[in-house]
Amino acid sequence: MTSGKRLRASGLLVPGLFTLVGLAILVSLGLWQLDRLSWKEDLIARAEARSQAPARDIPDAEDWPALDLPALEYQAVRLSGRFDHDAELHVYTALSSPRGAHGGPGWWVMTPMALDGGGTVLVNRGFVPERFKSPASRPEGQVGGRVEIEGLLRLAEPQGPFIPDDEPDNNVWFTRDPGRMAAALGLDEPVAPFFVDARHAAPGGLPQGGETTLTFRNDHLGYAITWFGLAATLLGVFGFWAYGRLAGEPGRGVGSAHP
């Protein structure tokens, strides 16, 4: 009996074909995740390089609609203009590893800046603890007139499934989305589709800038290991099952003799 006929007779042919297809799919998924891992590591390296590079002038407002924002994330920028402290917004956070003197539960202070060249950018001026949430408690930091700052360009934050809804009427926010914030404040166009994290603390130390952490979700290696592990499991299960089928055939038990 040929090997093909023997496989059909033992009932292994069709399951074997399905196993091969499954292996091909699982291995392909694992290789794809390794490719994504390489892409993500390159993305992180480029973002870190942008954050450490000398600051560039912030793009002009007329160029904002055409910007490739992901390619600019964490770019160091400089900007000048006037803060509208009356429109200060507060975003809840818990600063677990502060670089400055203050940490724990508190707020990011988001303030619109009217740029010298036109347009408005929301600036995350930094962190304040709960007891300094009121602007009146930190008057030194409420700088008037024209200011020049440096910061890192940031993208709007999506609202995750476990993040509470913002409460614009109470000035309580949980995500930093310049579009929604600008709409709540009624800011005139154009408003930047990004925000800027200030690199340095305000006079008096609050808000406490320079607290940006580069965060990129990078689970691709874990996903790759999972897919390769499933491929190995599938192969092992099929091999064990096939061995049992062959060993149970008459005249093909373990240790049986053949002419």
Whether 197 and 95 share a structural domain: yes
Q: Distance between CA atoms of 194 and 225, rounded to whole angstroms?
A: 35
Whether 85 and 14 share a structural domain: no
The answer to whether the peptide bond before residue 139 is cis (omega within 30 degrees of 0) is no
Residue 181 lies in a domain: yes
The total number of structural domains that make up the chain? 2
Whether 135 and 225 share a structural domain: no
Whether 187 and 80 share a structural domain: yes
Residue 118 lies in a domain: yes
Q: What's the pLDDT at 203?
A: 94
State the first-to-last Cα distance of the chain, in angstroms, to the nearest integer.
13
The CA dihedral of 94, 98, 101, 102, to the nearest 10 degrees, is 0
Whether 192 and 80 share a structural domain: yes
Whether 136 and 103 share a structural domain: yes
Whether 127 and 197 share a structural domain: yes
Whether 145 and 26 share a structural domain: no
User: Which residues have C-beta within 8 Å of that of residue 105, sequence separation ≥ 6?
Assistant: 92, 93, 94, 129, 130
**Considering just the CA atoms, what is the radius of gyration of the chain in Å?**
29
Whether 85 and 36 share a structural domain: no
Residue 66 lies in a domain: no
Residue 255 lies in a domain: no
Q: What's the pLDDT at 46?
A: 76
Enclosing domain of residue 27: 3-40+218-247
Q: What's the pLDDT at 254?
A: 47
Residue 236 lies in a domain: yes
Residue 134 lies in a domain: yes
Whether 193 and 232 share a structural domain: no
pLDDT by residue, tens only, the chain of 259 residues: 555 555 555 578 888 888 999 999 999 998 888 887 877 777 677 778 787 889 999 999 999 999 999 999 999 999 999 999 999 999 999 998 888 989 999 999 999 999 999 999 999 999 999 999 999 999 999 999 999 999 999 999 988 888 999 999 999 999 999 999 999 999 999 999 999 999 999 999 999 999 988 776 778 788 889 988 998 999 999 888 888 877 766 555 444 444 4
Residue 50 lies in a domain: no
Residue 126 lies in a domain: yes
Whether this prediction's pTM lies above 0.75 is answered by no
Residue in 106, 108, 112 with CA at minimum distance from that of residue 91: 108
Whether 201 and 81 share a structural domain: yes
Q: What's the pLDDT at 259?
A: 44
Q: Distance between CA atoms of 95 and 4, rounded to whole angstroms?
A: 65
Whether 132 and 106 share a structural domain: yes
Q: What's the pLDDT at 48?
A: 81
Q: What's the pLDDT at 206?
A: 96
